Structure 1
Amino acid sequence: MIIGVPKEIKEDEKRVSLVPSGVQMLTQSGHRVLVENDAGVGAGFSDEEYRQAGAEIFESGQALWQEAQMIVKVKEPLPGEYQLIQDGQIILTFLHLAAVPQLARVLAEKKAVAVAYETIEGPNRSLPLLEPMSEIAGRMATQIGARLLESTFGGRGVLMGGVPGVPPADVVIIGGGTVGVTATRVAIGMGAQVTILDINSQRLREIYRLFDGRIVSLMSNSYSLERVVQYADLLIGAVLLPGGRAPRLVTEEMVKTMKPGAVIIDVAIDQGGIVETIDRVTTHSSPTYSKHGVLHYAVPNMPGAVPRTATFALTNVTTGFVLELANKGYKAAFAENEMLAAGANVVHGHFVHPAVAEAVNMDYTPLNRVLQQF
């Protein structure tokens, strides 16, 4: 198979979808790997390292897209790349189609085989390809929030851990998944007072035990949210519905009750966000805006700010799936690997993931029915 690794064009995105060792695995298995020039520079990988691993370096991203049978990316294709998608091409990347229905329609029109990292499911509904990026985003959410609380950045001027005689910051985390737990761990390490909310009581018990009771845990409902949002110095949105659009849980009226200079970091922004006042996507170079006196941070590719760490973490878990698709082809790979089949979002014009289909208001067709046609 011919596998293409284009340069990421999303603003401030410096990750790359394959490291040289992954390229070597593919070329040793008999596949051609095309890498756009300087695709790995942001993460610290030179074109020469890719050549030594067996890759062909392409000066033209357009030529790469035209020749590759499978495109492996980090972030979803942007509008400038839509016309580059080839009919029937396999696209493997973070797609988050619930937030970009236009891309969903393009993939359907192109009859692409679109596989999303974020919906590949392991045992017990784990998300093995999303998890390392969620761990990074959780760590970064608390780390960035601590900086934004400084008055220099427009925050309240509150130190996360306080000092003797002065209370610590109040950190409120909505969602008890990987992002929420990782953010909690860092916040506790900084000495903050942490309140975490989730809709699953068993999950709250697990988190409470994990942190030896050093947190406040609450069932997530509108009453609880109204109360805790008011006293939050730092509010972190960490809710995930695999394949679906994030629910709007924090209303504008709630935001209006927050302290002047409080900070909101909505990690769920790549799925539409859970905060009603998050009405725009921000970037690493211009990450915040103020509304109702509250600082809002809505960067959808947070791990892109630590591209070397994030690239290794991502490719550690994605390369095996790339190799499986290349070795077997998508039909056999889907048939033999339930985890990979769960990652299929759009196949030959059909929406084969129920949550994605619902989110973009399209008809759902079971994957096995689609595969029987081809």
Structure 2
Amino acid sequence: MHVFISYARRDQSSISQLRADFERLGHPVWFDRDLDGGQAWWDQVLRRVRDCRALVFALSPDSLRSAACLAELRYAIALRRPVLAVRVRPVDRDALPKELRDTEVVEYVDRTPESVIALLKAFNALPMAKPLSGRLPAPPAIPTSYLTAYLARIDADDLSPAEQDELFEQLSSRLTSAEFPAVWDLLVRLRGRAELTPLVAVKIERLLAPGWRPDPRGRFDARHWDGQVWTTLVRQGDREFNDRNSPPASSAHLPTALEDTGTDELPLAQGRHADPEPKPRRGLPLLVAAGVLVLGGGATGGVIWAGSGPDQDAATNVARNFVDAVNTRDEAAMQRFVCGRDATENAHLYRGFLETANVTLESVDVSGADPRFTVLAARTSGNSSVKLNIPLAEEDGEWKVCDISRALSGR
């Protein structure tokens, strides 16, 4: 029998770790990974509740407002399934539903070895789930929410131009703080419809363009959206930083392949419209090797900083726009931020970079004689990644990305 985790979509990052902890302790886990909606989806959820060993309720402000989460909890209690409450985001005990007010709550907001031990102890203390017998309680009806209704409309066989425009207007008007993560996912799903009219497609692309948005995970003030996926670059107050541990630095010698950081949290491009005639892709290791060959062929040294160019904010803006162009596979936009020499001599390196990597901007430093910005470059296939320090140079009073061969060779 499995452990059923009931959670709100916004808490998915915490749930991934919670699931991993249960599985390491030898307990198989089931949780709803999809946003399919509809009666078939709800029937599967309820069947999993009936078959579970215990229901783990991930406590957060969003799960306590979720009709689906509360229905799962009450159905499990009606079936006499053991219930364990695990707090994944701060919430007062006074806000708990009556079904959980007398229940022990395991603290998991900040995961520590102690919290994992407490989780194991609390789970082992639960009574055994008894086999279901006799007449079962009536299953709860599918939650009547905007989400299910919108999903059914987006996935309909026929979506007329008028329906497309209406869906876009209704969804875009619901991008409030509480509903933002789910509505954003729905807009991304709508963007995937092949028959969108040019007008609706342009509206969606403008709305889903790269930029800062409210953090869908609710952990920071804002998170950077690269046009396709959420990156690890976040903003809290007036600070911008990466929200996860930095991977091991690439080796000092000339790299011939990407270093494997062993993480599953790398930004992976998803949901892009396929090109009618896809270009052949090279692996990023070949791209790096190509950088070495350019150096061997007599590439010149670093660009000299003139000392009177744009400021740190301007450099950060150029670096971010360059990263956005790479992640959205927009070669024309990328070339606007490349210095004239590299546009001529190293165009193939930039093209290979664009075709094979997803990039997260980590930092920008123009304080010294060798201004650069640091990115985490992840292969579009697999989970290997490498840190690159890409030079910036002043050209006609503006920052430009220049001499990328130095970054690719590790210099």
- TM-score bracket for this pair, using the shorter chain length: under 0.3
Find the structure with the greater CA-based Rg. 2
Select the structure with the greater relative contact order (CA < 8 A; seq sep ≥ 6). Answer: 1
Give the structure-1-normalised TM-score: 0.25
